[in-house]
Chain A
Amino acid sequence: MRLVPRNSVAFVLGLVVIAACAFGSFLTEAPNRLTSGYPLSLGEAADKPLLMVLVSCGVALLAGSFAPATKRNALALLAIAMTALLYLFFTAGRIATTIMASAPPATRVSFGWAFWTSGACLAILIFLALQKRETWMRLVIVAVVAVALTLMARAGQFDGLSLMREYAARQGDFAVELTRHCLLVLISVGIALALGVPLGIYVARTQGAGKVIFGTLNLLQTVPSIALFGLLIAPLSALGLGGIGMVPAVIALVLYALLPIVRNTQTGIIGVDRFLIDAAAGMGMNSRQIFWRVELPLGMPVFVAGLRIVIVQTIGLAVVAALIGAGGLGSFVFEGIGEYAIDLVLLGAIPAILLALTADFLLALTASLLERKRTA
Chain B
Amino acid sequence: MIELQHVGKSYGDKTIIADLSFTVERGAFCAVIGPSGSGKSTSLRLINRLIDLTSGTIRVGGEDIMSLPPEQLRRRIGYAIQSVGLFPHWTIEDNIATVPRLLKWSEAKVKQRVEELFALLQLDPATTRLKYPHQLSGGQQQRIGVARALAADPDILLMDEPFGALDPLTRQSLRTELARIHKATGKTILLVTHDIDEALELGDVIAILRDGKLVQFGTPADILAKPANDFVRDFMGGASLGLKLLSLGHVRDHLRPDAAEGIAVPADAPLTEALSQMVLRRTDRLPVKDTNGKPAGSIFLSDLVG
Give me 22 A-to-B residue pairs in the complex whose CB atoms sit less than 8 angstroms apart, sorted by A's number.
A276-B85, A278-B81, A278-B85, A279-B84, A279-B87, A280-B85, A280-B87, A282-B74, A282-B79, A282-B81, A283-B74, A283-B75, A283-B149, A284-B70, A284-B74, A284-B99, A294-B87, A297-B89, A298-B87, A298-B89, A374-B132, A376-B88
Interface residues of A in 35-62 (CB under 8 A from B): none
CA distance A109 to B81 in the complex (A): 71
Contact with A along B126-159 (1 / 0, CB 8 A): 0000001110000000000000110000000010
CB atoms of A283 and B83 under 8 A apart: no
Interface residues of A (CB under 8 A from B): 273, 275-276, 278-286, 289, 293-294, 297-298, 373-376
- CB contact between A373 and one of B71, B99, B132 (< 8 Å): that residue: B132
Which residue of A has the minimal Cβ distance to B48? A282
Which B residues are in CB contact (< 8 Å) with A275? 81-83, 85
CA distance A54 to B88 in the complex (A): 50
The yes or no answer to B243 lying at the interface (CB within 8 A) is no
Apart from the given pairs A279-B87, A282-B45, 20 other A-B contacts in the complex at a CB distance below 8 Å:
A273-B83, A275-B82, A275-B85, A276-B85, A279-B79, A279-B86, A280-B85, A283-B74, A283-B99, A283-B148, A284-B71, A284-B74, A284-B75, A284-B99, A284-B102, A285-B98, A285-B102, A373-B89, A374-B88, A374-B89
Please classify the interface of chain A as helix (H, G, I), strand (E, B), loop, or mixed, using the class held by over half of its residues: helix
The yes or no answer to B72 lying at the interface (CB within 8 A) is yes
CA distance A297 to B76 in the complex (A): 26
Which A residues are in CB contact (< 8 Å) with B179? none
CA distance A293 to B90 in the complex (A): 10
Interface residues of B in 26-64 (CB under 8 A from A): 45, 48, 50
CB atoms of A285 and B134 under 8 A apart: no
CB atoms of A283 and B102 under 8 A apart: yes
CA distance A294 to B148 in the complex (A): 16
- CB contact between B98 and one of A283, A298, A373, A374 (< 8 Å): that residue: A283
- CB contact between B102 and one of A289, A297, A373, A374 (< 8 Å): that residue: A289
- Across the A-B interface, give the 10 residue pairs with the lowest CB-CB distance, nearest first: A279-B85, A284-B75, A284-B74, A282-B79, A376-B134, A275-B83, A374-B88, A284-B71, A286-B71, A297-B89
CA distance A294 to B98 in the complex (A): 11
CA distance A60 to B21 in the complex (A): 82
Which B residues are in CB contact (< 8 Å) with A273? 83
Which residue of B has the minimal Cβ distance to A277? B85
Which residue of B has the minimal Cβ distance to A297? B89
Which A residues are in CB contact (< 8 Å) with B74? 281-284
CB atoms of A283 and B134 under 8 A apart: no
Closest approach, in angstroms, between the C-beta of B121 and any C-beta of chain A?
A: 17
CB atoms of B81 and A374 under 8 A apart: no
Which A residues are in CB contact (< 8 Å) with B76? 284
Which residue of B has the minimal Cβ distance to A293? B87
Which A residues are in CB contact (< 8 Å) with B50? 278, 281-282
Which A residues are in CB contact (< 8 Å) with B99? 283-284
Closest approach, in angstroms, between the C-beta of A369 and any C-beta of chain B?
A: 13
CA distance A349 to B268 in the complex (A): 83
Closest approach, in angstroms, between the C-beta of A127 and any C-beta of chain B?
A: 30
